[in-house]
Each structure stands twice: as structure tokens, then as C-alpha cells.
Amino acid sequence: MDNQNSWLAKLGVRHPIFAAPMAGGPSTPELVATVSRAGGLGFLGAGYWSADQTRDAIRRVRKLTEAPFGVNVFIPETPARDDPQRSVSTMKAWLRNWADEPGLAAEIDALQPEFPSRASFEAQMEVILEERVPVISFTFGCPDPQVIARWKEGGASIIGTATTPEEAVQLEQAGCDAIVAQGYEAGGHRGTFLPMDETRLIGTMALVPQVVDRVRVPVVAAGGIMDGRGILAALALGASAVQMGTRFLVAEESGTHPAYKHAILSWRDRGTRLTRSFSGRFARGIRNAFMDALDHAVDAKEIEIPPYPLQNTLTQPIRRQAQQQNDAERMSLWAGQGYPLARPMPALAVVQELLEELERVKRSLSL
Ligand SMILES: Cc1cc2nc3c(=O)[nH]c(=O)nc-3n(C[C@H](O)[C@H](O)[C@H](O)COP(=O)(O)O)c2cc1C
């Protein structure tokens, strides 16, 4: 606990509550600034942004608050060794059935998805370092120790994402100042970067104490934490803070599409599943028609999904049209297993409620 307090105090963060970075729209500068101003730690999800978009968002947060905040990036994937062209062409043909306008089918046909260039990632990192963002977190990989050492030169605290104890150990050895331990319950993409047996996914309750026992740096628990009960449980397991995504997805300040918010709040019994259908990388979201149809076709061995981020590029026109038409059945509805506990409210009220619940549960347990 001393370790926890000193780490957060050094960051200038008063409460052990991080609003998860949520790339693709939900993590607006307003959401990030509100959580940070309330004494938690807000994160921009910069994974899909260019260097310029990243700079703009950082400056917008700074206009709203002087409180510390974080920026999260995606470590670029190493391109697959097999040529993905065959799976790209068959996927284009399959996706055409979901394009209900000829223009959209032609747009999908014309796509030439590519692995992101190292150069664009490096340009984005230069901006984040130039802007002296106090906390940098990353997912989908583990950079070399020299790279992390360079990121730390300006004083930033570096946080990596692990889904197994082995990944946490590798991140600590590479020089990370803290580790996000992301359990099976978590909404959005899994941060997994070491080869993984998909029958061995570890839940937050089992993962956090194992990571705490294996590393010396502070651990941030993520996955399925929705209220004060969950926060206290994570702290009891040895976490220094929690990173909550789904709870903040329906906050007033989040940029989540209204039809997506509506699905979170009203599709209570659909449940979530891990799927590669939207992006090519495993991510957890609320089940919908698109996910069910593609996962079914994959299970029936009718089709293969191209690797991330190629599939992400291929499904983009359909997801964009779904947004225009308010059709949540074709959007990626990333959410954690706890999503039925989400309620729409301003982000400041979320943080205040979480802190009150945390105190209440603490008191009730000491009876
Ligand atoms: C919509 C959405 C987008 C996400 N995007 C990112 C991201 O860009 N970077 C990242 O490290 N984690 C991302 N995550 C995962 C979160 O960091 C965190 O692990 C997860 O939200 C915790 O589980 P919970 O949703 O049950 O709280 C995302 C999660 C959601 C729900």
C-alpha cells in the first residue's frame, strides 16, 4: 500500500482510479480532463491517430486542465509471415454482402489494407515526448529496453499492458514503471503480445495477485471493474490502482456513438464475447449480428480473418455506414463483461460515486 501511495503521489494523482484509454472515439479530451481534474487519471486513446491528431488532442486536454493525464499508444504489429492477400480477397467478397449500397461495395473492393509503418508510430511518439505528457501507456507489445529508456528521459512514467504473468515480467524487465494487468473480462482489445493459448485466458481476480507477486513495480487492475466494490477488491488483491473502461464509455463526456451507448444500456442480456471479426485481433464486445455471422462463418471454416490491422481497415466502411444509420448490429460494440452495471452520468459524478462507494464498502467490511 505504501508503494501504491508513493507512486500515485509522485504522479500527482489523488485517487487510484484511471479512466481507460479508449481509442476510436470514446476518450475525448473532455472525458480525460474531467477524470484528471477530479483526482483520477484520464487517458487519451491515441492508437488510431496520426502525430498531428495526437498533438491536437494533447493540447485540448491541456486547455481544460493542468492535472496530470496519460496518452496510450498501440505498439505496431510485426507483419505476418504468410501472405495475407488470399484472406483479404475472400474477406472483401464476404463483406460485400454487408454493404447495402453499390458505392460501399466498390469502396471495400478498392481497399488495399497495409500494416502500419514504423515511421508513423515513431513520429507519433516524438510528439508525445515533445509535449512532455506525464504518463505514457501502451498495449499490443513490449518495446526494447533502449526504447523505453528513451521515453523515460523526459520524466514520463511508462506503463505497459500484460494479460499473463510472463508478459508482466517481460514488461518490467524492459523498464516499465507500472503494469496494467488486463483480465479476460476486459472490454476492447486484449493487449496480448506473447504467443497465447486461447484456452488459457486469465480473469482479473486470478491475474492481478499473480502479477503482483511476480513484479516489483505497481500493478493497475483492468477488466470487469465497474464500481466501488470492484475497486476495493482489486486493491485487496494488491493492485495500486484500477483502469476502468466500460464504466466511462457511457459517461456524458465520452465520444461513444449514441447507438452504441444505447446498446450498452439496453441490450443487457446479450452478453459479450471475444471476437476477431471486426479488427483481426481478439477484443471483447457486446454480441451483435455482424459478429455472430462472421464468427459463425469462421467456426464453419468457410472463411479466414486477415490479421490485425488489415481486417480493421476492411470493416471500416461498414462500421462507418452503421454509424450513419444508427445501426448497432454492425458496429464494434467493445465492452467488458460488467457492462450491464454501466449507467449514463457525467464523468465527475462517476468518479465521486466510485469514491463514496469505496469508502462505504471499506466501512461495511470492518464491521
Ligand atoms: C471501447 C474500448 C476501447 C479501448 N481501447 C483501448 C486502447 O485504445 N488502449 C488500451 O490500452 N486499452 C483499450 N481498452 C481496454 C482498456 O484499457 C481496459 O483494459 C478495459 O476497458 C478494462 O475492462 P472494462 O472495460 O471491463 O473496464 C479499451 C476498452 C474499451 C471498452
Q: Is the CB of 72 under 6 A from ligand 1?
A: yes
Higher pLDDT, 114 or 339: 339
Q: How far is the CA of 185 from the centre of ligand 1 (A)?
A: 11
Phi-psi region of 166 (alpha: psi -120 to 50; beta: other; left: phi over 0): alpha
pLDDT band at residue 254 using 50, 70 and 90 as cut-offs: very high
Give which of 34, 16, 65 is closest to 345, Cα–Cα: 34
Is the Cβ atom of 234 under 6 angstroms away from ligand 1?
Answer: no
Pocket test for ligand 1, best of 18, 28, 41, 139 (most atoms within 8 A of CB): 139
pLDDT at 4: 54
d(CA 156, CA 136): 7
Q: Is 222 in the pocket of ligand 1 (CB under 6 A)?
A: yes
Residue whose CA is at the smallest distance from ligand 1 atom 17: 20
Ligand 1 near 186 CB (within 6 A):
yes
Ligand 1 atom with the smallest distance to the CA of 335 is: 31
**pLDDT, position 102:** 83
Question: What is the tens place of the pLDDT at every residue in 124-156?
Answer: 999 999 999 999 999 999 999 999 999 999 999
Answer yes or no: is the C-beta of 333 below 6 A from any ligand 1 atom: no
Beta-bridge partner residues of 162: 181
Q: Model confidence over 159-189: pLDDT tens digits?
A: 999 999 999 999 999 999 999 999 999 999 9
Residue 290, amino acid: F
**pLDDT over threshold 70, residue 367:** no
For cell 486542465, name the residue. Answer: 65
Average pLDDT (12-18) is 97
Atom of ligand 1 nearest to the CA of 46: 8
Model confidence at 100, pLDDT cuts 50, 70, 90, reads: confident
How far, in whole angstroms, is CA 64 from its chain's centroid? Answer: 23
- How many helices (DSSP H) and strands (DSSP E) are in the chain? 15, 11
- Cα–Cα distance between 114 and 116 in angstroms, integer? 6
pLDDT above 70 covers a percentage of the chain that reads 98
Specify the pLDDT at position 99.
Answer: 87
Is 22 a residue whose pLDDT tops 70?
yes
pLDDT digits (tens, 9 = 90+) for 216-237: 999 999 999 999 999 999 999 9
Proportion of the chain above pLDDT 90, given as a percent? 90
Task: For residue range 309-355, list pLDDT tens digits in order.
Answer: 999 999 999 999 999 999 999 999 999 999 999 999 999 999 999 99
Average pLDDT over the chain, rounded to an integer? 95
* Residue 207: per-residue pLDDT: 98
Of 98-102, 181-185, 234-238, 258-262, the range with the lowest mean pLDDT is 98-102
Q: Which residues contact 159 (CB under 8 A, 6 or more apart)?
A: 70, 135, 136, 137, 138, 176, 177, 178, 179, 180, 220
Find the largest Cα–Cα distance for the chain.
Answer: 66
- Determine the Cα–Cα distance for residues 264 and 37; give it in Å rounded to an integer: 26
pLDDT exceeds 80 at position 2? no
- Domains delineated in the chain: 2-79+117-253+346-365 (3.20.20.70), 80-114+268-334 (no CATH)
The residue with greater pLDDT, 303 or 101, is 303
Give the pLDDT confidence of 35-63 residue by residue, as tens digits: 999 999 999 999 999 999 999 999 999 99
Ligand 1: distance of its center to the CA of 245 in Å? 5
Average pLDDT over residues 104-118: 92
Give the model's pLDDT for residue 74: 97
Ligand 1 centroid–CA 274 distance in Å is: 13
Q: Is the peptide bond before 195 cis (omega within 30 degrees of 0)?
A: no
User: Residue 1's pLDDT is what?
Assistant: 45
Q: Residues 19, 35: contact at Cβ < 8 Å?
A: yes
Give the residue, out of 189, 229, 250, 273, with the most ligand 1 atoms within 8 A of its beta carbon, to mutate for a pocket test: 189
Q: How many residues does the chain have?
A: 367
Cβ of 187 below 6 Å from ligand 1: yes
Q: Is 219 in the pocket of ligand 1 (CB under 6 A)?
A: no
Residue 334 is classified by DSSP as B
Query: Which ligand 1 atom lies nearest to the CA of residue 284?
Result: 31
C-alpha of residue 24 to centroid of ligand 1, in Å: 11
Asked whether 26 lines ligand 1 (CB < 6 A), one says yes
Q: Is the CB of 188 inside a 6 Å radius of any atom of ligand 1?
A: yes
Residue type, 299: D
